[in-house]
Amino acid sequence: MSVYFVSRHPGAKQWAEEEGLVVDAVVDHLDPAAVQTGDTIIGSLPINLAAQICACGCRYLHLCLVVPRELRGCELTTEQMRLCGARLEEYKVGAKNR
């Protein structure tokens, strides 16, 4: 079982390191075909990708932040992330059958 931290943002990567997250790989992009049942994925994935990895038996920890309007679209520092309440929350996401 592997732990992936998914982010393209330098501040988020530094935040994870400073928080002491133990991960096997830090990646800018997650290829769902590369994960296996039992893996843990940490990041801010689009809902459809989160559902896809949950469907194959992965654990998903979402990097949550409350970003004020004036910081949206900006690269956040670790300090700004902390001020925005950066935390990990586990989600189990599933797609509704049609």
N residues, the chain: 98
Q: Quote the mean pLDDT of the chain.
A: 94
Looking at residue 1, its pLDDT comes to 93
Domain spans of the chain? 3-91
Share of the chain above pLDDT 70, in %: 98
Q: Which residue in the block uniquely carries the two structure tokens 């970003």?
A: 67
Nearest to 88 by CA among 58, 30, 45: 45
Helix (H, G, I), strand (E, B) or coil at 55: helix
Share of the chain above pLDDT 90, in %: 93
Looking at residue 95, its pLDDT comes to 77
CA distance 74 to 93: 28
Compute the Cα dihedral for 74, 83, 18, 60 and give only its sign: negative
pLDDT in tens, 33-53: 999 999 999 999 999 999 999
